[in-house]
Amino acid sequence: MKLPSATALVAGGASGLGEATARALVAAGANAIIFDLNAERGQALAQELGTATRFVAGSVTDEAAVQAAIDRARNEFGSLRLAVNCAGVATPGRILSRFGPLPLDQFARVIEINLIGTFNILRLAAAAMQGNEPTEQGERGVIINTASIAAYEGQVGQVAYAASKGGVVSLTLAAARDLAQWGIRVVTIAPGLFDTPLLVGLSETARQSLAQQIPFPSRLGATSEFAALVQHIVANPMLNGEVIRLDGALRMGPR
């Protein structure tokens, strides 16, 4: 699928991986709907990126808000061709701690945002893409999800996060098979350690320690590198039903 003039919905698009993706897509000639809870940051980014960009406030778990974002894409730009799921939380917590067992609502909130929210975007975006005119290759849309290498190597304190991202990994192939008849591709990126707001609270020493764990390149990933992979997935029609690790050969230890 070609990016120029295509319209993308970027969930979690006001910061981190989502912001980098929105910037890259607009730079490549696409229109972008930035969907995020952070209205101040989202509106500022949309204004900065110009007339090809709109901001819609909302949570990925809110069906009405997601539908409003999709409707805006279709009403203002004609159709929705791409959806990128970058929204998520990484609330830590051990199953057992000095405070007792992990609160069930804390576990459920991570699952709701990371897994159910991802599926909410996927299903509503697919419904919108179903009515698109197919390209010469029969393609109507592309949906890109964000998992994590924690889906494979969840560390101590990541039980909820690992479970949520493992769910995203597991639904990828099934979703691609479900949507194949409509010419809609589904691909998931599983990033390693990236320089995003999730790591903002760490000291420089801690950040360097994390970077040294990565075989090559021995540094935190740049958000622009995630965005570059999004662009390649869009352009390469044979990428479908796949989970791509983007981690510099990192395999996380238990801690």
User: CA 247 → CA 206, 214, 218, 220, 229, distances in Å?
Assistant: 18, 8, 10, 9, 12
Q: Residue 91: phi, psi to the nearest 5?
A: -60, 120
Report the interhelical angle of 63-77 vs 117-129 (nearest 10°): 30
Joined together, the tokens standing for residue 11 give 């969930």
Give the bridge partners for 100, in sequence order. 97
Catalytic residue among 77, 161, 182, 194: 161
Cα(3)–Cα(29) distance, integer angstroms: 6
Q: Does 161 qualify as catalytic in the annotation? A: yes
Task: Compute how many other C-beta atoms are within 10 angstroms of the C-beta atom of residue 52.
Answer: 16
Cα(143)–Cα(171) distance, integer angstroms: 12
Joined together, the tokens standing for residue 13 give 């698009």
Q: Nearest CA to 87 among 33, 135, 16, 141?
A: 16
3-state secondary structure of 101: strand
Please confirm whether the linkage preceding 217 is cis (ω < 30° from 0): yes
In the numeric block, the tokens 């949906």 are attached to: 143
Joined together, the tokens standing for residue 188 give 């998931």
For the annotated catalytic residues, the residue numbers are 161
